[in-house]
Structure 1
Amino acid sequence: MLRFDPFSDVDSLARGLLAGQQVGSTRTPRFMPMDLYKVEDHYVLTADLPGVDPGSVDVSVDNGTLTLTAHRSSRSEDSVEWLSSERFYGSYRRQLTLGDNIDTAGIKAGYENGVLTVTIPVAERAKPRRISIEHADTMRSIDPVSTSPD
């Protein structure tokens, strides 16, 4: 369910080189830590995004790919003399490939206390179900086949 992007590190390095020197930390986020688990008939994805403005969080689904993006802005005060700058800032992005058995129209997301929670329901057609057995109204008797010669 996870899509690997081999070029994300190269893109982040290029962005850092082309952007020039910035105030504060020049480090960008490496990844968005997340957990993914299944509960009954849906999956739950939780991603840690501390200090991220809720308005910058975006969850989208396109052609079977779930994309999570978020942005944490850096402090840009000119009068600040940085003594230590260890917090990452910049854009986070995570993509997951969804299977065919997901109800993409029913995906829901919420953001509370720095944690993004995405609920991903399993499609009805993929849920286990019991098959009923139909019984004939009248029982027919079956004559046993005779194996002895007449």
Structure 2
Amino acid sequence: MTQQVWGGNERPSVLPMPMDAYRDGDQFVVRLDLPGIEPDSIDLTVERNVVTVSATRSWRRDARHEVVAERPQGMFRRQLFLGEGLDSEGLSASYEQGVLTVTLPVAEQAKPRKVEISGSTSGAASIDATSSEGADDDQELTHST
């Protein structure tokens, strides 16, 4: 009867993780919401240019008869595909108040730099090879649920 009133209790086998990603100076920051997840159940792996985050929220049966069960339970997973401009070797992560924060430094070869121009005129000129920050941010990181 409860299932008829409130809907079925079928849940997807892998649940999504809400995420924000942004560039902050020389690093990319990714924040994933994982409220109620035990830190020991979070798994963060890097393989080549793919960062995989997975976590499990265990089923809790506190009541004899569940009336409403809206909080997602089970396996959560998210993959991030890194562009060549990010340094996966320097990846770091922290988990506070239900939010997993993953920080990825921008690779040295992707950082803006000045290029000296040589020529026959007196004195060397230089060209600023920097781009406006954030112009290609969306090219550095792609993701899938």
TM-score normalized with structure 2 length: 0.69
* 1:105 partner SS: helix
Aligned structure 1 segments of 4 or more residues deviating by more than 2 angstroms: 25-30, 131-136
Identity of aligned residues (%): 45
Which of 68, 73, 77 pairs up with 1:93?
77
Q: Is the 8 A contact 2:27 2:106 kept in 1?
A: yes
Cα distance in 2, alignment partners of residues 95 and 113 from structure 1:
22
| DSSP-derived class of the 2:15 partner | coil
For residue 40 of structure 2, what is the aligned residue in structure 1?
55
Long gaps (5+) in structure 1: 1-24, 140-150
Match in the other structure for 1:145: none
**CA-to-aligned-CA distance 1:31-74 (integer Å, 9 cap, x gap):** 10000111111110001001111101111110210111111001
Q: Secondary structure at the match of 2:114?
A: coil
Q: Pick the structure with greater CA Rg.
A: 1
Q: What is the CA RMSD across the aligned residues, in angstroms? A: 2.1
Deviations 1:53-97 (A, max 9, x none): 1101111110210111111001045x6221221111001110111
TM-score, normalized by length of structure 1?
0.67
- Gaps spanning 5+ residues in structure 2: where? 1-8, 123-145
Verify the 8 A CA contact 2:15 2:75 in the aligned structure 1: no
Aligned residues: 112
